[in-house]
Structure 1
Amino acid sequence: MTTYTVCPVPSGTLAALLTEDDAGAPAVPCTDAEGGAPLRCCLRRSAPGERIALVSYAPLRRWAAETGARPGAYDERGPVFVHAAGCPGWSGPRLPLTDAHRVLRRYSAQGRILGGELVGEDFPAALARAFSDPEVASVHVRAVEYGCFLYEVRRG
């Protein structure tokens, strides 16, 4: 059985993104009147009245800085919602934000895309399929409707 680690936006990265995001812009906090935004720092949906920010995030670039991978043209950045101030982070036994169809995008240790899968009901089985390929080092969980990055799952 393959073990894996769910990786939200880390607290140190969150602090940096609130100062200057991966597009070079400062965060603009706002109050989420309706709630429901998928927060990438704690991997839950925002509650009405929470202070959040929409920032630009480059998950492969940050992963490459840690691992030495060279994603080349696969390096992309996109919008993510985060808490506008400190966040307790995520910890939990269940896979987060699996309440809708998702896309799993598989990456090699070099940061190259190895494939993807549209996932409906059986998210754990799809994740197991992704990691059944020994070349897969990381899987990005993405929203279907906008293609946005939600979180990373790493082998090990």
Structure 2
Amino acid sequence: MTTYTALPIPPSVLKELRSADDAGRRMVPVTDEEGGAPLRCCLRRGAPGERIALVSYAPLRRWAAQTGAEPGAYDEQGPVFVHAEECAGPQPGGHPFAGAHRTVRRYSAEGHILGGELVAAPDDEAFRNAFDDPAVALVHVRAVEYGCFLYEVRRPSA
């Protein structure tokens, strides 16, 4: 039985985003007074009082640069919350940001959208359904309410 891994934004990319984000803007840290921001660096909700930043991130563009894909018009960037300073990263296992409807958006090896599915909560079954299509190379899990990127899951290696 395959277990699918939620991938946070890699530490090397976070370092870049904390200097200048994918829209070329400098990071502006703030104190999250209330907590609850979905942090893409450690795949958890922020706690009250943590220093965070909202940065522009282009996950498909960065994946394409690694794989040689040409996403064309499917390349997009959007806002994501990260810790303003380096953090410990995610705890292993589980599916982050559970307990809410999410969209599992499928992408081909070329970086083109192959469809998506609204799921009650992302789990191994949702990812197994996505990867049952051999043309699917990776999926993005996105928030329904704003469409924001939450995390990526890649096709498991054979």
Unpaired runs of at least 5, structure 2: none
Structure 1 residue 123 displacement after superposition = 3.1
Q: Give the match for residue 22 of structure 2.
A: 22
Tell me the distance in 2 between the aligned counterparts of 1:5 and 1:135. Answer: 19
Structure-2 change in CA distance of 1:81 and 1:65 (3 Å): same
CA shift for structure 1 position 50: 0.2
d(CA) in 2 for partners of 1:38, 1:71: 26
Which SS does the other structure have where 2:63 is aligned?
A: helix
Q: TM-score, normalised by structure 1?
A: 0.96
Give the letter for the 2:6 counterpart: V
Question: In the alignment, which residue of structure 1 is the partner of 2:82?
Answer: 82
Q: What is the one-letter code of the residue matched to 2:131?
A: F
Shift of 1:121: 4.5
Please report the RMSD computed on the Cα atoms of aligned residues, expressed in angstroms.
1.2
Give the Å deviation of 1:127. Answer: 1.6
- CA–CA distance in 2 between the matches of 1:118 and 1:48? 30
Query: Please, what TM-score do these two structures have when normalized by structure 2?
Result: 0.94
Structure 2 equivalent of residue 119 of structure 1: 119
Counterpart Cα distance in 2 of 1:93 and 1:127: 14
Unaligned 5+ runs, structure 1? none
> How far 1:89 sits from its partner (Å)?
1.1
**Aligned partners of 1:121, 1:25: CA distance in 2, in Å?**
33
Identity of aligned residues (%): 69
